[in-house]
Amino acid sequence: MNPYSEKVNEIVLSIHNLREVGLYLAKVALEKDGFSRIKSIEFNDRRMDPVGSISYGDIIAYKGDKKKVIQIVTRHKHYKNGKINSRYIYIKKKKLPEIQGTSSKACSHYNVQYEDICWIAVQISVNVSLPEITYSIFFGSISDLTDESGKIMSAIPMKEADFQNYRQLINNGKFVTDIKMETIVNSIPKHISDNYNNFIEICKGKNAFLMIEFKEDLYRLAIEVMIKDLFKQYEIIILKADEHRFDDNKFINIETYLWGCDFGIALFDSEVNSNIYLEIGYMLALNKKVIIIKEKNLTLLGDLDGKLFIEFDKSSLSINEENKLVGNGAKKIVEELKKWLNIMKIKKKENE
């Protein structure tokens, strides 16, 4: 093995699994490009395979209300012998005859047009003299990958001259070799994949999962309404587990919300609820933010006791004739939530 190959192997080993790296970098690039609600498709589910391809990592992402099904192909810019890798294979050649039919099924399954089935090529480049790793990310539609006769190609052409035909999301970005792999795009569990697809069709836009006790309480209902009214100003829909029934199994139904929502809001107002603890832990494990609102006299259990909260004094709350929450406690909750939204760089609608 020549020194170049040895150095490449040494550095590649330090950046973990190439597929996971590509998924992570693609997600970051898509977010910067204005995409949202980026989720991985179940990796081994053939039904989810958009183009009968070698599955290097597939995701669903939205730009506004427009949904894209995107296949991610991650490759090194150079082969071990130092030559440029000019073709990124993404379809097994034996699959080419059935590619159109497979793509049509994907269009039907995901309710997208053929031009909305896309690809991302993540090009990893190793500079052995530094050593340094950089990456470039290219974006295009499967319908763009046709030869002169109109047939779909089995590989993405990746010569310098080809780049003018693609959108370049990232050009020579610096790769940090100590990426924590737990932050990589999560793969949707197979047992909720259909539920999740239904969720993203029904619950469009940015949304948050409200974890709350379901016992009837006028103050709790008033807090819920106040939270919904506030977040509506930021174009965020607040959802509870009883909003839509995605599954007959209660916990699987909740799992669908936990995977589908962008972040969570947990309310502890009168007692410590074990179900809310479970939902908070699940969401945190998915690397999602959770806002915890608690009555100041409640003591939470375990690791949550050391976290920062939005606290309120229930005795300072009152409900007016319109069943709206008023009082200093209500104002404090609203102001603290606004601070959190500001930290998260979530802005109000322009007309608000």
Q: What is the pLDDT of residues 101-111, one digit of tens each?
A: 455 666 777 77
> Helix or strand or coil: residue 169?
strand
User: What's 268's domain CATH number?
Assistant: 3.40.50.450
In a domain, 350, yes or no: no
> Helix or strand or coil: residue 339?
helix
In a domain, 147, yes or no: yes
Last residue in a domain, options 183, 214, 234: 183
Give yes or no for a cis peptide into 3 (omega within 30° of 0). no
Give the domain extent around 335: 190-343
Contact between residue 74 and residue 18 where contact means Cβ atoms under 8 Å apart: yes
User: What's 140's domain CATH number?
Assistant: 3.40.1350.10
What tokens were used for 25? 């970098």
- Identify which of 254, 241, 303 has the alpha carbon closest to the alpha carbon of residue 283: 254
Q: Where are the alpha helices (DSSP H) in the chain?
A: 3-14, 18-32, 99-110, 193-202, 218-232, 250-260, 274-285, 328-343
Last residue in a domain, options 149, 166, 183: 183
Last residue in a domain, options 163, 183, 203: 183
pTM equals: 0.54
Contact between residue 319 and residue 217 where contact means Cβ atoms under 8 Å apart: no
Strand (E) or helix (H) holding 36 = strand 36-40
**Domain identity same for 118 and 167:** yes
Tens of pLDDT, residue by residue over 174-215, are: 765 434 433 434 567 878 888 888 898 888 888 999 999 887
**Domain identity same for 9 and 126:** yes
Q: Which residue has the tokens 């779909």?
A: 152
**Domain identity same for 150 and 50:** yes
- The count of structural domains within the chain is 2
Q: For residue 68, which amino acid is it? A: K
In a domain, 351, yes or no: no
**Domain identity same for 260 and 291:** yes
**Domain identity same for 144 and 38:** yes
Sequence length of the chain is 352
- Identify which of 65, 57, 52, 63 has the alpha carbon closest to the alpha carbon of residue 24: 57
Q: For residue 247, how many other CB atoms are within 10 A of its CB?
A: 16
Query: What percentage of residues in the chain have a pLDDT greater than 70?
Result: 75
Side-chain-side CA neighbours of 18 within 13 Å: the count stands at 19
**Domain identity same for 43 and 179:** yes
Contact between residue 158 and residue 168 where contact means Cβ atoms under 8 Å apart: no
**Domain identity same for 234 and 314:** yes
In a domain, 197, yes or no: yes
- Identify which of 312, 304, 307, 255 has the alpha carbon closest to the alpha carbon of residue 283: 255
Residue by residue, pLDDT tens for the chain (352 residues) are 344 444 444 444 444 456 777 887 888 899 889 998 888 775 434 333 444 333 345 788 998 888 888 888 888 887 767 788 888 876 554 443 444 445 566 677 777 887 888 889 998 886 655 556 788 999 988 777 777 776 777 788 888 888 888 999 998 887 654 344 334 345 678 788 888 888 988 888 889 999 998 877 788 888 899 999 999 999 999 999 999 999 999 999 999 999 999 899 999 887 777 889 889 989 888 888 899 998 888 877 655 544 567 888 888 888 887 778 887 878 888 999 998 888 877 878 766 5
